[in-house]
Structure 1
Amino acid sequence: MEYLTFKLIHVLSSTLLFGTGIGSAFYLLCVVLRRDVHVIAVVARLVVVADWLFTATTAVLQPLTGLYLVHLMQMPLSTPWVGWSLGLYVVAIACWLPVVRLQLLMRDAAAAADQSGTPLRAPFWRWFAWWVALGAVAFVAFLAIFYLMVFKPA
């Protein structure tokens, strides 16, 4: 029962982590491409909140529950799919950490532009380009982790 309980927590938290990430990325991407500064400011603020409430908490929960499941299964960390999953998770989180900073910068720049009635300035667009690139890498890493978790290749 302990294994199934932690597996359920692991699966639910991965769903929340991935779903919140892809959902907030989709909405922020869509509104930024529309270039409506007011809407960008509102959505960027909500994306930052969602990231702290859902992504940050599940990003911590995922490796804890995953490593505990590996322990319960008495599986060595040197098992190839486990090692690759951990490595890809490190890549995804290494992308996510600067994304958090970029989202804060974009949120603040959009709020300032909205308050002053001016268009978004060049730094916003640089931060946005990095945000998209890092998000794409993290997305691919998470897809690969899902593959490894489901198929457990040798």
Structure 2
Amino acid sequence: MDYTLLKWIHILSSTILFGTGIGSAFYMFMANRNRDLPEMYFAVRHVVIADWLFTTPAVIVQFLSGIGLLYVTGYDMDDAWVLWGIVLYFGAGVCWLPVVWLQIRMRDLIKTSLDNNSDVPPVYWVLDRWWILLGSLAFPMIVIVFYLMVFKPG
């Protein structure tokens, strides 16, 4: 595959991955701080959809195009910046996978609360803290991966 096309695909998928992630996190975080159940439900329901429509495909394309770029450019998998990039990429993924489950669970809890005209159970806020923690761990990992991909240190 042509280097320029592959690089464009890699940049586009990283933009979708990062943009969807930070945008979704912002809206869900702000909705939860407001504690308005219909607003919270709207946010989390659409965050779950965005993860399936945008984030998941971008994660796959990101990895495949990254491996393709290594092949096309001749960089070695043993290069320190490549190894760290892969470790951090998968580290962010290890944080993201439970976040997907948390978001689905949180969506379902809000839906039940709305249907029963009740407040969300306390477990919702425990899940919210885990969601914030895992997202706060994944975000800097991805920022460092961007740095490594651009500057290729070492």
Same fold flag (TM > 0.5):
yes
The answer for the alignment partner of 1:83 in structure 2 is 83
Structure 1: distance between partners of 2:76 and 2:88? 17
Q: What is the 5 A alignment of 1:3-152?
A: 3-152=3-152
The aligned counterpart of 1:2 is 2
Query: In 1, Cα distance between the equivalents of 2:148 and 2:74?
Result: 18
Secondary structure, aligned partner of 1:58:
helix
Tell me the amino acid that sits aligned with residue 35 of structure 1: R
Q: Secondary structure at the match of 2:86?
A: helix
Cα deviations across residues 83-124 of structure 1 (Å, max 9, x unaligned)? 100000010001000000000000000111112111111111
| Whole-angstrom distance in 1 between the partners of 2:115 and 2:23 | 26
* CA deviation after TM superposition for structure 1 residue 129, in Å: 0.5
Quote the Cα distance in structure 1 between the aligned partners of 2:37 and 2:148: 40
CA deviations on 1:53-102 (whole Å, 9 max, x unpaired) are 00000011111000010001111100111110000001000100000000
SS of structure 1 residue aligned to 2:30: helix
Cα distance in 2 between the residues matched to 1:150 and 1:117:
50
Gaps (5+ residues) in structure 2?
Answer: none
Q: How many angstroms does 1:151 deviate by?
A: 1.2
User: TM-score, length-normalised on structure 2?
Assistant: 0.98
Q: CA RMSD in A?
A: 0.8
1:113 alignment partner, SS class? helix
Where structure 1 has 5 or more consecutive residues not aligned to the other structure, the ranges are none
2:105 alignment partner AA: L
Q: Provide the C-alpha distance between the structure 1 equivalents of 2:39 and 2:109, rounded to a whole number of angstroms.
A: 13
What is the number of equivalent residue pairs in this alignment?
A: 154
Q: Could you tell me the percent identity over the aligned residues?
A: 44
